[in-house]
Amino acid sequence: MKILAIVVCALAVLVVLLYVMARSHRKWLDQQSPVGVWRTSVGEETITLQFEGGPHEGTYKQLAESAKKRTREFGCWEARQNELHMLIMATDIRNHPRFGQDTPYGILYVGADSIEINGPDRPALAYQRVTDGTLLSFDNDVE
C-alpha cells in the first residue's frame, strides 16, 4: 500500500512538472520572433531573408543570389509559436506558383542566432542571423 501511494505521488509530481515545463516552453515560443536578417546557402546559391515589423507580423524581403542569377521576393509574414505564414506580394519569378497564396511553414528557433524554416521552396533550411549590418533594400534596385 505504501508503494502504491509513493508511485501515485511521484506520478502527480511528474504531471505537474510536465505541465509547468510545457507552459514555460509555450511562453518562450510566444516571445520568439524572426525579425531581423538571416542568411543560408543552398549549393552555389546564397539566400538572404529579412523580416521587418514584428514581433509576430510584418513584411519580408528575400534575395537569392548565385553567379548566374539574382531573384528578389517581397511579401508579408505572420508567426505564431512554431508556424510561419508567408504571402508573396511581388517576385522576379514569372507565374510563381505561390504568388498571392498564404503559405504555412514550420519555423524552429534553434538558438539566438539560428532558425530553421521548413516548407515549400524551403526544405528544412537553416538560416544564421546576419550581424554585419546587412539590410535589403529594393527601392533603387529596379531592372
Please check whether residue 141 lies inside any domain of the structure.
no
Amino acid at 32: Q
Structural domain for 6, as ranges: 1-31
Inter-residue contact 44 to 67 (CB < 8 Å): yes
Please check whether residue 86 lies inside any domain of the structure.
yes
Per-residue confidence at 11, pLDDT binned at 50, 70, 90?
confident
What pLDDT, in 10s, does the model give residues 73-117?
999 999 988 899 999 999 999 999 999 999 999 999 888 799 999
Transcribe 5-70 into DSSP letters: HHHHHHHHHHHHHHHHHHHHHHHHHHH----EEEEEEETTEEEEEEE-S-SSEEEEEEEEE-SS-E
Residue 22 has pLDDT above 80, yes or no: no
Per-residue confidence at 8, pLDDT binned at 50, 70, 90?
confident
- If you search the block for the grid coordinates 505572420, which residue do you land on? 78
- Give me the percent of the chain exceeding a pLDDT of 90: 55
User: Does 7 share its domain with 66?
Assistant: no
User: Does 12 share its domain with 79?
Assistant: no
